[in-house]
Structures are given as structure tokens and as C-alpha cells.
């Protein structure tokens, strides 16, 4: 049974941790987790050998730290995961405005309550979820928002001077006492607010309305920022950077496999209508993000968020779902052509350079998708030959697959192209006709992306050779 007053708390096992600071608590629980083995931050994929060890070092060192990375690199998720390293609950002085340790109070109010009631001081219990406070930094955030401000009405009710700490209306940071306080996009804070932060971090004091006040808070401060803003002069004051113990760089998934694991974890594709996503479609979706990050027309400083493949995969699943519902099919099988139906999930997430703006967001997105399909086909096929597929189209042949045709009928059409079904079997996940048909379409779309063949709206898949036949008429065209 949990103690309900200070006397019972002192006589309980909780007294062993009395006065332990948050940084020590995080360190102690982290050590236990490392000894047990397993992931330090479950659900955080792709950082096991890069970011996580650096964060672990920062916590073991009891450092305030900052995560530097572009958007969509799970910075906020990592910061929120710190709550898992806090104790399930901790005792606080019941009735106090700020969370204060009954065994080692640091606030004026907390010390007064303990001095007045002694062992009868009532105790409350604070869960770990309530010990994490987060603030998105914006230029209009003030010292009053983060630290606090003088409250004349409060001072009048207490019958005290304005400079008395009891007359303060506390901001977010003091209310995070005995917990973790996170500031996202740190450089967006005004300089005077940054000054207030570093004074609290190290000196434990702050000036509010000209009154110097001691605030010896027990808080672990963690931050996130874009590297470009963090290193820019005037964005963040040097003394604050000096007081941040560790600087950890985050990154996008280093491999397509890591990216696919993250996307599979985050995307909502388990639909009640039974959507199936072939692995080559999921891989092509992830490759879209990798191609966009390498595209010269996309702003590298803005980055391409991991939310792009997540929302694109959801859009691909939805397009397959829509197609199956209209056709009355029991199972919706996603196809590589569904990526083009998901362009709306891409265009809003690409910050384009001048050249990209001239071409247009949709045109750039379409080209990125096409390249992603081609790159995925190259990885999937390996040494499987495809020359005879292109050679068949070079004989002035075309292949058009009508909409709404089932897998068996599609395979009948694809069988006319030498080598196509062999290549499809090399990438398919089974011998089901629908799976093979989807794989064959993937092979053809990949060859279109590699410019081995072309595709037109009128004739379907055709040869990529633009040279005219005898008589001067163009034999086929590239769309």
C-alpha cells in the first residue's frame, strides 16, 4: 500500500530514493534496462546502432541534450520515449502548486508545507505520463509562458511583496519539476527566453519583472531542432548551446529495409476490407522517399519526411481498396500502378527548388515515382534477363490490358510476351494468378521507368524506340 503522509513515506522503501534527482532516476532505470537486454526504446527503428547509443551516453552522463535532424526523423517520438525510463510513479506533496519531492522539497511552498505539517504532510502520487511536458517553440513564446510571471492578485491574497516567489504564476518549465521538459524547434525561441532557459539550467535562478528569483528546479531538459537553424548565427545564443551537454544527430532510414520496417509499423494498411500489399509494392513506395531525397529539384535543407512513404502506402492501399469495392472483389490486391494514384500523398511533402517549381510538383512527383519503380525492379530482378521482353515490343507490337480484367485473363495476355511471366515469377510472392498478374504489371512498369519500353494511353505498353519506320511515320512514341 502506498504511503499517504510524509511519516509513512519516510518509513517505507520509497525513502531509499528520497532526494534522487530526475537525471539520476533516468540513469538508474536505464542501467537496469541495459542489463536486462532488449531495445532501450521499443518501436524506434533504424536508430539502434547510431542515434540510440548517443542518447544512452547522454543519459548515463546526466546531460541535457538536443536532437538535431530534419523533419520526420522521429525526434519527438524519441523524446517522448524518455518517459518509459522514469519510475512508474513518484511521491509529491499533495496540494502544492508544483510537483515537489516530499523528502527533499526545493520550492518555497513545498518547504513551508513540510515545515508546518511535519510527518502529517499529505502525499500524492504522480504517474510517469504526467512528468513529461512538451512545448513547441514559436517566436511569440515569452518568458512568462515558459518560466512564469508576477501575479499581483496572488501577491495581494497572500499579503506579500511582488518579489516573493509565492507571488509567481508559474509557467510550463516549473510545472515540469521532477520530470522531463522538452522544447521542440528550440532556435525559434526569442533570445531573452533562451537566456531564461540557460539560467534555470545551470544557475537555478531567473529574473522576472526585474526581481531575481531562485528556482532550483529538478528537471531534465531536452530539445529538438533543425540543424540549419541550430548552426545559424542569431538563431540560438551561444551560452545556451554551451549548457546543452550532448548534441545528437538524427537521420532518415539508411536502407530501404529500415525504411520499410518503419513505414510498416506506422502506416494504417490493416483494413477490414482485406487489402493485400505485395512486398515489391511496399518496397517501391519506400524507394519513392529515397529517390526524392536524392532529387536535385527537392530542397535538401527541408528534407523529405518519413511521413511521405507512410501516407503514400496508405493511399496505395486505399486505391486498391476502392478498386476492389467497385469491382465487387473480396480481396483488394495493391498494384504498382496504385503509386500514381497516390501522388496527392507526395506533392504536399516535397519542398521544391527553383527548377522543381518551374516543372511543377505533380510532374516532379510522377518522375520520382517512375524512378523508384525502376530502381525497385533492378533490385528485385537481379540477373533475371529482360532483353527478350523489350525485343518483343521492338517488333512493333503493343500490349494493352483492359481495366477490370481478372488475374487469369491478365496472365493470358501477358503470356504472349516472351520472358514476361518468368520475370514475374522472380518477383511474385506466390503462384496465385492475381499475384503473378500484379508482378507482371510491376515488371512492365519497371521497364517503362528504365526506358526499355514505353507506355501510351492509346496502345498500352509499346516499344521505346522513337525512330520512324520506312515512310517517315513515327512507329511509336514515349509518354
What does the radius of gyration of the chain's CA atoms come to, in whole angstroms? 30
Mean pLDDT of 149-173: 82
Query: What span, in angstroms and rounded, lies between the C-alpha atoms of 19 and 310?
Result: 44
- Of all residues in the chain, what percent carry a pLDDT higher than 90? 65
- Residue range 342-358, pLDDT digits in tens: 999 999 999 999 899 99
Flag whether pLDDT at 416 surpasses 60: yes
Say how many C-beta atoms besides its own lie within 10 A of residue 286's C-beta: 28
CA angle 178, 181, 186 (to 5 degrees): 160
| CB contact set of 275 (below 8 Å; sequence gap of 6+) | 269, 317, 320, 321, 324, 331, 332, 334
Strand ranges (DSSP E) for 264-423?
Answer: 275-276, 332-333
Q: Which stretches within 37-178 are classed as H helix?
A: 51-60, 75-80, 108-117, 143-146, 152-158, 172-175
C-alpha cell at 204: 537555478
* Residue 148, pLDDT score: 87
pLDDT at 208: 76
C-alpha cell at 436: 503473378
Per-residue pLDDT, 292 = 97
DSSP assignments along 5-51, one per residue: BHHHHHTSGGGGGTT--HHHHHHHHHHHHHHH-S-SSTT--S-TTTH
Q: Which segment of 124-128, 237-241, 293-297, 334-338 scores lowest on mean pLDDT?
A: 237-241
Q: What percentage of the chain reaches a pLDDT higher than 70?
A: 96
Predicted pLDDT of residue 465: 61
Domains (range + CATH), the chain: 6-249 (3.40.50.300), 252-381 (1.10.8), 385-479 (no CATH)
Contact 98, 177 (CB under 8 A): yes
DSSP assignment, residue 472?
S
What gap in Å lies between CA 321 and CA 141, rounded to an integer?
Answer: 45
pLDDT digits (tens, 9 = 90+) for 371-390: 999 999 999 998 788 899 99
- For 5-63, how does the pLDDT look when each residue is reduced to its tens digit (9 = 90+)? 999 999 988 887 777 899 999 999 999 999 999 899 999 999 999 999 999 999 999 99
Mean of the pLDDT values across residues 353-367?
A: 93
Average pLDDT in the 76-87 region?
96
Amino acid at each position: 500500500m502506498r504511503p499517504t503522509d510524509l511519516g509513512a513515506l519516510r518509513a517505507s522503501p520509497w525513502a531509499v530514493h528520497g532526494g534522487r534527482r530526475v537525471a539520476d532516476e533516468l540513469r538508474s532505470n536505464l542501467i537496469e534496462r541495459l542489463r536486462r537486454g532488449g531495445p532501450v526504446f521499443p518501436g524506434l527503428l533504424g536508430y539502434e546502432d547510431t542515434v540510440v547509443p548517443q542518447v544512452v551516453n547522454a543519459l548515463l552522463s546526466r546531460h541535457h541534450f538536443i536532437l538535431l535532424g530534419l523533419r520526420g526523423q522521429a525526434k519527438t517520438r524519441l523524446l517522448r520515449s524518455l518517459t518509459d525510463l522514469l519510475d512508474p510513479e513518484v511521491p509529491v506533496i499533495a496540494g502544492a502548486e508544483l510537483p515537489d519531492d516530499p523528502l527533499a522539497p526545493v520550492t518555497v511552498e513545498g518547504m513551508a508545507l513540510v515545515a508546518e505539517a511535519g510527518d502529517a504532510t499529505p502525499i500524492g502520487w504522480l504517474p510517469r505520463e504526467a512528468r513529461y511536458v512538451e512545448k513547441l517553440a514559436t517566436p511569440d513564446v515569452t518568458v512568462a509562458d515558459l518560466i512564469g510571471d508576477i501575479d499581483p492578485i496572488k501577491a495581494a491574497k497572500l499579503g506579500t511583496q511582488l518579489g516573493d516567489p509565492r507571488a509567481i504564476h508559474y509557467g510550463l518549465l516549473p510545472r515540469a519539476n521532477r520530470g522531463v521538459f522538452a522544447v521542440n524547434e528550440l532556435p525559434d525561441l526569442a533570445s531573452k527566453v533562451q537566456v531564461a532557459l540557460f539560467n534555470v539550467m545551470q544557475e537555478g535562478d531567473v529574473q522576472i519583472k526585474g526581481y531575481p528569483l531562485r528556482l532550483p528546479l529538478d528537471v531534465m531538459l531536452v530539445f529538438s531542432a533543425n540543424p540549419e537553424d541550430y548552426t545559424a548565427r542569431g538563431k540560438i545564443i551561444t551560452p545556451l548551446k554551451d549548457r546543452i551537454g550532448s548534441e545528437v544527430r538524427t537521420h532518415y532510414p539508411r536502407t530501404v529495409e529500415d525504411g520499410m520496417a518503419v513505414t510498416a509499423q506506422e502506416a494504417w494498411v490493416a483494413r477490414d476490407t482485406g487489402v493485400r500489399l505485395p512486398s515489391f509494392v511496399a518496397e517501391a513506395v519506400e524507394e519513392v522517399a529515397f529517390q526524392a531525397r536524392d532529387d536535385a529539384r527537392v530542397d535538401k535543407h527541408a528534407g523529405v519526411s518519413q511521413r511521405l512513404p507512410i501516407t503514400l502506402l496508405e493511399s496505395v492501399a486505399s486505391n486498391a481498396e476502392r478498386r476492389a469495392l467497385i469491382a465487387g472483389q473480396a480481396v483488394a490486391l495493391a498494384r504498382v500502378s496504385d503509386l500514381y494514384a497516390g501522388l496527392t500523398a507526395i506533392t504536399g511533402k516535397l519542398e521544391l527548388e527553383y527548377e522543381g517549381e518551374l516543372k511543377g510538383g505533380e510532374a516532379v512527383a510522377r518522375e520520382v515515382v517512375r524512378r523508384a519503380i525502376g530502381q525497385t525492379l533492378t533490385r528485385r530482378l537481379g540477373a533475371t534477363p529482360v532483353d527478350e521482353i523489350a525485343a518483343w515490343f521492338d517488333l512493333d507490337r503493343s500490349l494493352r490490358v483492359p481495366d477490370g480484367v481478372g488475374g487469369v485473363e491478365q496472365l493470358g495476355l501477358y503470356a504472349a510476351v516472351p520472358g514476361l511471366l518468368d520475370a514475374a515469377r522472380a518477383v511474385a510472392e506466390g503462384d496465385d494468378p492475381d499475384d503473378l498478374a500484379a508482378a507482371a504489371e510491376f515488371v512492365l512498369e519497371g521497364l517503362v521507368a528504365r526506358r526499355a519500353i514505353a507506355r501510351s494511353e492509346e496502345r498500352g505498353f509499346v516499344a521505346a524506340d522513337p525512330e520512324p519506320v520506312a515512310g517517315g511515320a513515327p512507329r511509336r512514341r514515349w509518354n
